[in-house]
Amino acid sequence: MRPIAEEEDSVPAELYANQKLIFSNLEEISDFNSQIFLHELQESMSSPSLMATTFKSRVIQYCFGAPFHQSAS
């Protein structure tokens, strides 16, 4: 990974000190988006509500690590 800045003075100290941690999963995110998420969104393009559910479920899964289950209301 290329550093976000060559010198600490050009970015906030906290960001500079933690850049490896902050950006450590960019490749994984890119792979997931191109190999899985994009395909799921393309499959759901015919229905805006299905696309919204697909997007929502993946965001919840990413943010909280748990699958999204739609209520049966």
| pLDDT above 60 (res 3) | yes
Cα gap 58→68, rounded to integer Å: 8
**Full-model pTM:** 0.57
Question: How far is residue 50 from each of residues 1, 2, 47, measured CA to CA in Å?
Answer: 36, 38, 5
* Domain assignment of residue 2, yes or no: no
* Domain assignment of residue 64, yes or no: yes
What residues make up the domain containing 38?
A: 25-73
- Residue 56: CA count within 13 A, CB half-sphere: 9
* Domain assignment of residue 38, yes or no: yes
| pLDDT above 60 (res 73) | no
* Domain assignment of residue 1, yes or no: no
Chain segment 13-70, per-residue pLDDT in tens: 888 888 888 888 888 888 888 998 999 999 999 999 999 999 998 888 888 875 555 5
* Domain assignment of residue 15, yes or no: no
| Residue 5 binned pLDDT confidence (cut-offs 50, 70, 90) | low
- How many domains, in total, are found in the chain? 1
Nearest to 54 by CA among 2, 63, 43: 43
Cα gap 8→35, rounded to integer Å: 35
* Domain assignment of residue 17, yes or no: no
